[in-house]
Amino acid sequence: MASVPFDQLDGFIWFNGEFVKWADAKIHVLTHGLHYASAVFEGERAYGGEIFKLNEHSERLLESARILGFRIPYSAEEINNACRMLLKKQGFADAYVRPIAWRGSEMMGVSAQNNRINCAIAIWQWPSYFDPEQRLKGIRLDIAEYRRPDPRTAPSKSKAAGLYMICTLSKHAAEAKGYADALMLDWRGRVAEATGANIFFVRDGKLHTPEPDCFLDGITRRTVIDLARRRGIEVVERAIMPEEMEGFEQCFLSGTAAEVTPVSEIGPYTFQVGEITRLLMNDYMSEVQPKHRVAAE
C-beta of residue 195 within 8 angstroms of C-beta of residue 184 = yes
Render 243-282 in DSSP notation, one character per residue.
GGGGG-SEEEEEETTTEEEEEEEETTEE----HHHHHHHH
Q: Are strands 235-238 and 206-210 parallel, antiparallel or unpaired?
A: parallel
Rounded to the nearest 5 percent, the helix, strand and coil shares of the chain are 35, 30, 40
What's the rounded Cα separation, in Å, for the pair 292 and 283?
A: 10
What's the rounded Cα separation, in Å, for the pair 77 and 88?
A: 17
Which candidate, 46, 212, 180, 201, places its Cα nearest to that of 121? 46
How many Cα neighbours within 13 Å face the side chain of 63?
A: 11
Q: What is the set of active-site residues?
A: 159
